[in-house]
Structure 1
Amino acid sequence: MSAVKIWTDADVETNPRVKAVFDDIRATRKTDFVNNMWRALAGQPELLEATWARLKQVMVAPSALDPVTKELIYLAVSTANSCSYCVHSHTAAARAKGMTEAQYQDFLAVVGMAMQTNALATAMQVPVDPEFQV
C-alpha cells in the first residue's frame, strides 16, 4: 500500500500544474500511460515538475550514452538501492528501448559479479591501488 495518494486522471484534471506535467509525460513518451511514480509525486506539484524536468534532461535528452545503456545504469543503481518499483519500471523501459534478452542476461551476470566482488572487497577492506587513484 502506498504511503501517499496515487492521483487518478480525474484528480489530475483539478490541478493545472500537475496536468501540464502529465500532458508532457504523455507527449514525451508517446503514450497515454502515466505510471504510479508520477501519480505519487502529483501531491507535491513543485517536486513533480522538478523531478520530471531533471529526468527528461538526464534520461531523454540526447547524450553520449544511448537510451538502453542509460536504462541499464538506472536498473543497476535501482538494484543496488533495493528499489523494487524502479527495477520493474526500468526493466520495462529498457525492453521498450530495445534491450534484448541476451543483453538482459549479460546485465544480470555483470550485476551479480559486481555484487559479489564488491562484498568481498568491502569485507576484506582491500586498499585501493595507487594506479587507480585520480
Structure 2
Amino acid sequence: WRALAHDPVTLKRTWESVKEVMGPGVLEPKVKEMIYIAVSIAHACPYCIHSHTANARAKGMTEEEYRELLAIVGMASETNRLVTALGVPIDEEYEVV
C-alpha cells in the first residue's frame, strides 16, 4: 500500500474495493485468498502471490491445498493456451455461461 501512498485518491478507491470484495460474503475467506493466488500467478505478480499465500495460510490453507491449487493453475494455464492456439470453438452447451 506504500506504493499507492503518493496517490491518495487511487489508494482510497483501491483499499475500499479490496475491503468490499475480500470482506464477508458467500465464499469463505480462505477460498477468496486462494482465488487471489491463482489470478496473481496468472498475471505474474510475485508480491501478490506471496502476500495472498501468506493470507491464505493464515486463514487455514494447508500445504496439500496449496499444492492442489498450483496443479489446477498449471493445468488451466496449459489447456487455456492449447485451446487458444488450436482455435477450438466454444461448444454450444457452454455458450450460455
Q: Place the TM-score, normalised by the shorter chain, in its bin.
A: over 0.9
AA at the equivalent of 1:51:
T
1:120 corresponding residue in structure 2: 82
- Structure number with larger C-alpha Rg: 1
List 4+ stretches of structure 1 deviating above 3 A. none
2:47 is aligned with 1:80: no
TM-score by length of 2: 0.95
2:62 is aligned with 1:100: yes
Whole-Å Cα distance in 1 between the matches of residues 82 and 11 of structure 2? 39
**1:35-73 residue CA offsets vs partner (Å, 9 max, x unmatched):** xxx11111111111111111000002x111001110111
Whole-Å Cα distance in 2 between the matches of residues 40 and 118 of structure 1? 32
Unaligned runs of 5+ in 1: 1-37
Query: Alignment identity in percent?
Result: 58
After TM superposition, list the pairs within 5 Å mapping 1:5-20 onto structure 2: none
Q: Tell me which of the two structures has the higher relative contact order, counting C-alpha pairs closer than 8 angstroms and 6 or more residues apart.
A: 2
Whole-Å Cα distance in 2 between the matches of residues 50 and 116 of structure 1? 34
